[in-house]
């Protein structure tokens, strides 16, 4: 339609100029009254030659008219298709449609879990998204949201904070525009927060309580104490910052990483029920938490860095499926020399990092082992 409009405007200007020429020719012919000199005849012939392109313009008008008729027919067909879709959708109630969508998302999630899992073998160079906020903080996207949902959540600081900024898209986050503010009813501790399926999971300040805050309803859905978990800088990562409790999401669900006195300061990994926050199962990794810079989960494997400073690398891996561990050597570039948040996003297969006031992404390389239905 835009092409037609442009061409019509152009041709209309041409037809208007030809109209002036034709009136001039008509006046000359009437004045000649049957007798023309050779010079006048040649002038009229030259003017008539100028009118020759008019026939092709008129032919183009005819073709454009046929195009408009076809477009009108296509719009009519499309309207009928949309009406049929609307009628089909009307056969289902909102709850039925929601259940169908949830079932499809669950199948996609299970498929991604089977095909997407693997062992970490590499971390890319850092991609700096933005420099915003203080030295410590966290930022994230929803690991369970559909691909069209690209909201970003931003939480500056590592203790007593309550303000969460929600940006509509990553582009808006980069530009610092189109955001809303959530004021949490209870302040947070640390930077180990995670957004999972529309809710924020975080550690309540000066306690070992896990809080599940739902963004849409702006309310706390559930909160529960994590049995024996240290808090208030009792067992933080090497950088401190009230990082006693760290929440993570990978392909298999929600996890908590923390330490208890009973585990002598070693990292404990617990699988949490995202609805009730109850501990489903726990593992003692044997790795001292104060010696860890940060940690993240990929495919049920806890990866631990040996430092939060320059020269850091992924140094230790604990496999929950076999309750075993190994020492690794996966380097990555700690560009701004002070990481205070490091989390894996299974939807994007990327590490989200808060590095000395910079929001940074790393892509990861996984060695895939794809099992079939007949495999043990």
Q: How far apart are CA 310 and CA 337, in angstroms?
A: 5
CB of 245 closer than 8 Å to CB of 190: yes
> What whole-number distance in Å separates Cα of residue 282 and Cα of residue 272?
9
Lowest pLDDT segment from 42-51, 54-63, 65-74, 140-149: 54-63
The structure's pTM equals: 0.70
pLDDT at site 19: 74
Are 112 and 251 in contact by the 8 Å Cβ rule? The answer is: yes
In this model, does residue 237 exceed pLDDT 90?
yes
Cα 296 to Cα 289: distance, rounded to the nearest angstrom: 13
From 39-43, 146-150, 154-158, 194-198, the region with the lowest mean pLDDT: 39-43
| Cα gap 107→95, rounded to integer Å | 18
Sign of CA dihedral 365, 369, 370, 376: negative
- Confidence grade of residue 49 (pLDDT, cut at 50, 70, 90): confident
pLDDT at 375: 46
- Looking up tokens 């835009």 gives 2
268: helix, coil or strand?
strand
Q: Which of 48-52, 125-129, 350-354 has the lowest mean pLDDT?
A: 48-52
DSSP state of 374: T
Q: Give the least confident one: 49-58, 200-209, 302-311.
A: 49-58
Which of 79-88, 109-118, 303-312 has the lowest average pLDDT?
Answer: 109-118
Question: Looking at residues 223-237, what average pLDDT do you find?
Answer: 96
DSSP 83: H
pLDDT of residue 170: 93
Q: How far is CA 149 from the centre of its chain?
A: 6
When pLDDT is cut at 50, 70 and 90, the band that residue 376 belongs to is very low
Mean pLDDT (whole number) for 81-101: 70
Cα–Cα dist 243/232, whole Å: 8
Mean pLDDT of the chain: 86
Confidence of residue 10 (pLDDT cuts 50, 70, 90): low
Is the pLDDT at 61 greater than 80, yes or no? no
pLDDT tens digits along 244-275: 999 999 999 999 999 999 999 999 999 999 99
Provide Rg for the chain, Cα atoms: 34
Among 47-61, 279-293, 354-368, the range scoring the smallest mean pLDDT is 47-61
Distant-in-sequence, close-in-space partners of 173: CB < 8 Å, separation ≥ 6:
129, 130, 139, 152, 154, 167, 179, 359
Contacts made by residues 47-50, CB under 8 angstroms, sequence distance 24+: 47/21, 50/18, 50/21
pLDDT above 70 coverage of the chain, percent: 82
Q: Give how far Cα 371 sits from Cα of 118, 347, 374, Å.
A: 11, 20, 8
- Among all chains, which residue has been given the structure tokens 């003692």? 284
Q: What percent of the chain has pLDDT over 90?
A: 61
For residue 80, give the 3-state DSSP assignment: helix
Distance (Å, rounded) from C-alpha 369 to C-alpha 376?
13
pLDDT at residue 62 tops 80: no
Q: Are 252 and 299 in contact (CB under 8 A)?
A: yes
pLDDT band, very low/low/confident/very high, at 89 (cuts 50, 70, 90): low
**Which pLDDT band, with edges at 50, 70 and 90, does 310 fall under?**
confident
- Stretch among 57-61, 248-252, 341-345 having the lowest mean pLDDT: 57-61
Please provide the DSSP assignment of 143-205 as one string.
TTS-TT---EEEEESSEEEEEEEEESSHHHHHHT-SEEEEEEEEEEEEEEEEEETTEEEEEET
**Predicted confidence band of residue 295 (pLDDT cuts 50, 70, 90):** very high
Query: Dihedral through CA 65, CA 67, CA 70, CA 75, nearest 10?
Result: -100
The confidence score (pLDDT) of residue 108 equals 59
* Mean pLDDT score, 286-302: 96
């Amino acid at each position: 339609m835009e092409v037609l409009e442009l061409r019509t405007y152009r041709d209309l200007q041409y037809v208007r100029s030809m109209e002036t020429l034709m009136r001039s020719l008509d006046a000359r012919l009437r004045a000649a009254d049957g007798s023309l000199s050779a010079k006048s005849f040649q002038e009229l012939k030259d003017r008539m030659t100028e009118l020759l392109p008019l026939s092709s313009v008129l032919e183009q008008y005819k073709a454009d008219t046929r195009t408009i008729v076809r477009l009108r027919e296509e719009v009519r067909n499309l309207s009928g298709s949309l009406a049929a879709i609307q009628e089909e959708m009307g056969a289902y109630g909102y709850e039925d449609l929601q259940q169908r969508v949830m079932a499809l998302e669950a199948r996609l999630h299970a498929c991604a879990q089977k095909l997407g899992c693997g062992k970490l073998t590499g971390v890319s160079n850092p991609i700096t998204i933005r420099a915003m906020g203080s030295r410590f903080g966290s930022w994230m996207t929803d690991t369970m949201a559909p691909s069209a949902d690209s909201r970003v959540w931003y939480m500056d600081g590592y203790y007593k904070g309550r303000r969460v900024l929600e940006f509509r898209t990553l582009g808006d986050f980069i530009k610092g525009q189109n955001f809303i503010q959530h004021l949490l009813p209870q302040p947070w501790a640390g930077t180990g927060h995670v957004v999972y399926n529309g809710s924020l999971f975080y550690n309540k300040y000066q306690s070992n309580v896990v809080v599940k805050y739902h963004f849409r309803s702006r309310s706390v859905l559930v909160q529960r104490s994590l049995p024996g978990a240290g808090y208030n800088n009792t067992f933080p990562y090497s950088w401190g910052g009230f990082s006693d409790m760290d929440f993570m999401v990978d392909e298999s669900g929600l996890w908590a990483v923390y330490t208890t006195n009973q585990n002598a300061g070693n990292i404990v990994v617990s699988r949490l029920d995202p609805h009730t926050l109850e501990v489903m199962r726990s593992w003692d990794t044997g790795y001292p938490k104060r010696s860890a810079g940060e940690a993240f989960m990929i495919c049920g494997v806890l990866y631990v860095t040996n430092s939060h400073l320059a020269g850091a690398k992924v140094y230790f891996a604990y496999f929950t499926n076999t309750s075993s561990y190994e020492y690794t050597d996966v380097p990555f570039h700690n560009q701004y020399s002070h990481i205070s948040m490091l989390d894996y996003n299974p939807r994007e297969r990327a590490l989200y990092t808060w590095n000395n006031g910079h929001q940074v992404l790393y892509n990861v390389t996984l060695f895939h082992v794809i099992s079939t239905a007949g495999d043990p």
